A and B are shown apart, each in its own frame.
Chain A
Amino acid sequence: MNEQARQISELDRVIHEPGRLMIMALLYAVERADFLYLQHETALNKGTLSSHLARLEEAGYVEISKTFRGKVPQTLLRLTDAGRRAFEEYRRKLKEAL
């Protein structure tokens, strides 16, 4: 295995999936955002977005909190410190592999 292939194989698989990478990048640039914003920006459908978020939450990268805006339920999302570190590490490794 050459060096580049080895570096690519070391990339965080949870983040490497394109849908989750979009979510991580969008959340990295903000303090927090809601589900609707992510849905608009990623153009993913509700089910796919929910399943990616569940995977990221399971990995400890995203914190999900449910609240209400008036009478409308609202899902707020933010990257955890571990998520921020993992994203920075992922980008560092990706740049090294280029």
Chain B
Amino acid sequence: MEQEQEKQIREYLCRPARYANVDGVTEMTAGLTWFGLALFGWIPSVTPKGSVWHSMLLLWLLLVAWVALVAFGAKAFKKHVTYPRTGLVSYPAARGKASAIWRFAFVLVIAAVVSAALAYMAARKHFQPVWLMGASMAFFYGMMARPMRPWKWAILTLMAAGGVGLVFLPGGLEAQVLIGLASYGAVFLAAGLITLAHYLRHSQPAEKVAE
């Protein structure tokens, strides 16, 4: 009986993390961010050389504004739609400076190892880095799209397999990356919208809940 209880405790401890994407907003936020990256990467390729759209500074500023707008929109959605329907949750900030430093160091080490492996493989022409996009997108999706309903596993598999398809697209690495970002953005957005539709259908504002 105590084992059952411990299992239940673990289940309850995991619930708040799953609640972060209960309305699909996390998936939609990621989708719109990938779209922004694709859009601001694509603009210089269709505008005349020497135009203002070739300024890296301007594109970075626009990208930052886009990401801020998406983040602000997500917050506003939570405040006006999610919290009145199924309640508010604030997540703990990272506890302690030491833990933040360790996490930063961990990310740096992982980034260094991945970069070194990519450089090594690219130098020997064994590997097209665009393959990685499918794997990383699928991994990212698996981390953020919880609760993982059965149809989300299908999307995750599609994402991982899609990375291989990107390699066969014409137009070189840059075009493959841009098309990849736009396509993955669309998939994230669609998955988020399905989650949102499901959420809205199965919840209602608190005022309308029977006492």
Binding site for B on A (CB under 8 A): 8, 21-22, 25-26, 28-41, 46, 69, 72, 74, 76, 91, 94-95, 97-98
**Nearest Cβ on chain A to B95's Cβ, whole angstroms:** 10
Most buried by A among B89, B92, B207: B89
With A and B bound together, what is the CA distance between A94 and B154 in angstroms? 38
Q: Using A36-B87, A36-B88 as known contacts, list a sample of 4 further A-B pairs with CB atoms less than 8 Å apart, ordered by residue number in A.
A: A34-B89, A39-B87, A91-B6, A98-B2
CB of B86 within 8 A of chain A?
yes
Inter-chain contact A37/B89, CB cutoff 8 Å: yes
List residues of chain B with CB within 8 A of the CB of A72: 84, 206-207
**Least CB distance, A41 to chain B, in whole angstroms:** 6
| A31 touching B91, Cβ below 8 Å | yes
B16 contacts A33, C-beta separation under 8 Å: yes
Partner of B2, one of A8, A31, A33, A36: A8
Residues of A within 8 A of B83 (CB): 34, 36, 69
Chain B binding surface SS class: helix
- Answer whether residue B123 sits at the interface, using C-beta atoms and an 8 A cutoff: no
Partner of A29, one of B3, B8, B16, B84: B16
Q: Which residues of A contact B84 (CB under 8 A)?
A: 69, 72
Residues 7-44 of chain B, each 1 if its beta carbon lies under 8 Å from chain A, else 0: 01100111111010000000000000000000000000
Show 9 residue pairs from A and B whose CB-CB distance is below 8 angstroms, ordered by the A residue.
A26-B16, A28-B13, A29-B14, A32-B88, A34-B87, A36-B83, A37-B88, A94-B9, A98-B6
Question: Are B89 and A30 closer than 8 Å at their CB atoms?
Answer: yes
Option from A29, A40, A46, A94 in Cβ contact (under 8 Å) with B5: A94
**A40 B86 Cβ-Cβ under 8 A:** yes
B206, A30: Cβ atoms under 8 Å?
Answer: no
A7 to B9, CA, bound (A): 18
CB-defined contacts of A39 to chain B, threshold 8 Å: 87
Query: Are A37's CB and B13's CB within 8 A?
Result: no
Contacts of A76 in B (CB 8 A): 88
Q: With A22-B12, A26-B16, A30-B16 known to touch, is A97 a contact of B90 (CB < 8 Å)?
A: no
What's the minimum C-beta distance from B109 to chain A, rounded to whole angstroms? 27
CB distance from A68 to the nearest CB of B (A): 13
Residues of chain B lying within 8 A (CB to CB) of residue A94 = 2, 5-6, 9
